[in-house]
Structure 1
């Protein structure tokens, strides 16, 4: 499938929840939560877009990087490129309902695996959504990551045990879901966690543990002290709190604080291969993407997801070729000009 066809079908099937705008800047879908947009005025979604747009690539063509190697290892898993499918649930309420929850989970889990990377599956106010994600991962021989909402600790541990039974490769918590409207709609208590809470949850699993939703250097330090294996710099796609900074603005200070102590993933408006390079140059080890995976799944199932990831690969290859990067480890701040003012 080609990207033009996938996007055309996705737009038709999402019943107006996503316009697949030329620039995914959060304007069309502002306030659509549930849905595909950012909360409130959509300022946090828009800020992710603008902050990443303000990072510019430095074009270089006098070098020896003629066949860039995009492969990486993230928490023990070898990936063809530093891109992971972000956890998303609610096909019926967020994506237009063209796919059942199980069909969506199958598409991202198996499509990501076919493309040489891994998918995260999420938790929700509807318990069957988490079950659907784990079912997909189990049928993919455990090739996936289970991400749990910040519920009461005993509830989190129950879901960790379910993930263990499914054979997942990694587990995590999207702590940035502490105030999610969609959880409140179903009477599911979620909330902030202390460093002690995170440490206790981390001790309940032997798998690599990822904490998603870190947006400041001080909380990155706390996460590292709690013993997590990785953090995701993310404002939950701008869907939980209006008027936050963008992920690209805070990532450099977070990287200065904890780089080398924990794996750093970044999540926020990753729409093309150049965005992957930008986030890595700002200090990330790999990135997460959500909306493009949704487009791929709705527009073409697992083959659509694979096509989306393959498109990221070709774009990242070109970006590395034209910035002088032979491997992912060559990507650093010398490859970009950061126009953001946050330090």
Structure 2
């Protein structure tokens, strides 16, 4: 199996929900939410890709980085690659249902593990889908990270307890889902969180706690003060706020403000290993991939996910060699020009 075959199968299985475009930039699916497009004009979706495209790599070939080390550590787990699967849910709501939620969860979690990485699971307007994610995490002996929508704290706590019972490595809340249409359509209220709310949730569990959806330096400082272990720089794939900035544009200021206080994940618009290197150079500790892995799951199950991550990892290795980057865990800012 190769990526072309994976994409061919996915295109057929996702017909009417995703066109599996040659370039996944959100143009053809703008406004298709539910679906996997960006909200409104699709500007926030394309902003992620445009922000990455503006960042250029410095070619360097006079150095000793002959065999770069791609490994990183995440919550005590050593990974072979800094590329992880973003929390994704809604196989039936957003993607047509050609595979079930549990099948997608298993493809993501098992495919990422086979590639030497980790996967994340999500939450949506159908509560049972969060449970599907936890079942998948149990099946891989806890090597996965569930994310919960910004429901009431009482509802979040119930789901944190389930994550603990599943043996998850960490748990997160994707606050960028505060205005999701799919949640409203299914009668599942969500909304913004205060500093007090986040601090309460952090103190509720001994698991590392992640907040996803940070796009400004001041909010990064706020959640750091609340005691979170990690953040995800993300505009929710451009699916919540039209005209939001791209993740790569805001990442450097956030990384500079935090100055190593916590782990920084970044997602949005990653379509190649060079994109991964750019985000690492801009301040991320690891990078999350979303839509390309959905296509991998629909087109090739766990093997499609594994193949996608391995392909991006090979591209990252080549880019590291050609920029003189010795370690994925320590990418110098000078690798890029932005």
TM-score interval w.r.t. the shorter chain?
over 0.9
Q: Does 1:129 align with 2:129?
A: yes
Q: Does 1:304 align with 2:304?
A: yes
Unpaired runs of 5+ in structure 2?
none
1:14 Cα deviation from its structure 2 partner: 0.5
Q: Does 1:231 align with 2:260?
A: no
Aligned to 1:167: 167
1:1-343 to structure 2, matched below 5 A, reads 1-338=1-338
CA distance in 1, matches of 2:78, 2:182: 34
1:21 Cα deviation from its structure 2 partner: 2.0
1:204 Cα deviation from its structure 2 partner: 1.0
CA distance in 1, matches of 2:71, 2:244: 32
Indicate the SS of the match to 1:172.
strand
Indicate the SS of the match to 1:212.
strand
CA distance in 2, matches of 1:260, 1:161: 29
| 1:251-303 deviation digits (Å, cap 9, x = unpaired) | 11101111311111111111111111000111111111111110110001011
CA distance in 1, matches of 2:62, 2:119: 36
Number of corresponding residues? 338
Unpaired runs of 5+ in structure 1?
339-343
CA distance in 2, matches of 1:210, 1:294: 22
Indicate the SS of the match to 1:231.
strand
For the 8 Å contact 2:70–2:329, the answer to whether it is kept is no
For the 8 Å contact 1:75–1:263, the answer to whether it is kept is no
1:16 Cα deviation from its structure 2 partner: 3.0
For the 8 Å contact 2:80–2:117, the answer to whether it is kept is yes
For the 8 Å contact 2:11–2:18, the answer to whether it is kept is yes
Indicate the SS of the match to 1:25.
coil
| 1:152-210 deviation digits (Å, cap 9, x = unpaired) | 00000000001111111110000000111000011111000001100000111101111
1:330 Cα deviation from its structure 2 partner: 4.3
Aligned to 1:341: none
Indicate the SS of the match to 1:328.
coil
TM-score by length of 2: 0.98
For the 8 Å contact 1:231–1:265, the answer to whether it is kept is yes
CA distance in 2, matches of 1:3, 1:193: 40
TM-score by length of 1: 0.97
| 1:100-147 deviation digits (Å, cap 9, x = unpaired) | 111111110111111111111001110110010100110111110010
CA distance in 2, matches of 1:135, 1:184: 25
For the 8 Å contact 2:325–2:332, the answer to whether it is kept is no
For the 8 Å contact 2:285–2:329, the answer to whether it is kept is no
